[in-house]
Amino acid sequence: MSIAPLPENEARRLDALAQYHILDSIDEQAYDDITFLASQICGVPIALVSFIDKDRQWLKSRIGIDVKETPRDIAFCAHAILDPHHVMQVRDATHDARFSDNPLVTSEPRIRFYAGAPLVTAAGDALGTLCVIDQKPRTLTEGQRRALEALSRQIVAQLELRKALDDLSTHIREQQVYEENSRLTSCVLRN
């Protein structure tokens, strides 16, 4: 089994991931809808939205498996983020030296086929993937690959929306504190 090397931008990538406050968040329908569509479009039993953290792969959304995370060392997605501009496809993991003895291949869920579209920020940081998995060898059609890329961009749009809402909430709280302090200062000066 080949452990994926760290991306050259690993420190910046992890900082960017932290800014989205996505890790260990609750399930959300928007992500689950995209995962469902990826599974249907690609005709596979397993689809995931995964984020690659320092030592783990954390799954924001999943169809076909129940786990919420795996060690980063065995994550196919840790390999996929190394090339943020292309969908990584593994036609048959049993014939790929990187994965043939991976526990995700040799035992459940018995991955054979994997395709992962990196989730890339505007700054070029790949935070994770939208991936589809099958227990039999296959290859995506050109249309399926393009659809997976389009759906991965929608996940990044959801992340950006989440970050904008967090930033707005922080600004509103800061403004409320400022106004309350101004009111208290005004009351003290009048007395």
In a domain, 21, yes or no: yes
In a domain, 74, yes or no: yes
In a domain, 124, yes or no: yes
pTM above the 0.75 mark? yes
Q: How many CB atoms are closer than 10 A to CB 119?
A: 30
Assign 109 to helix, strand or coil.
Answer: coil
In a domain, 3, yes or no: no
Q: How many CB atoms are closer than 10 A to CB 101?
A: 12
Domain that holds residue 109: 10-162
Give residue 160's pLDDT: 95
pLDDT tens figures, 154-175: 999 999 998 898 777 776 777 7
The CATH number of residue 49's host domain is 3.30.450.40
In a domain, 180, yes or no: no
Q: How many domains does the chain have?
A: 1
CA atoms of 129 and 101, how far apart (whole Å): 22
pLDDT tens figures, 56-68: 999 999 999 999 9
Q: Which residues of 162-184 are buried (b: 16+ CB within 10 A; e: fewer)?
A: bbeeeeeeeeeeeeeeeeeeeee
- The beta strands (E) that lie in 75-171 are given as 88-90, 113-120, 126-134
In a domain, 176, yes or no: no
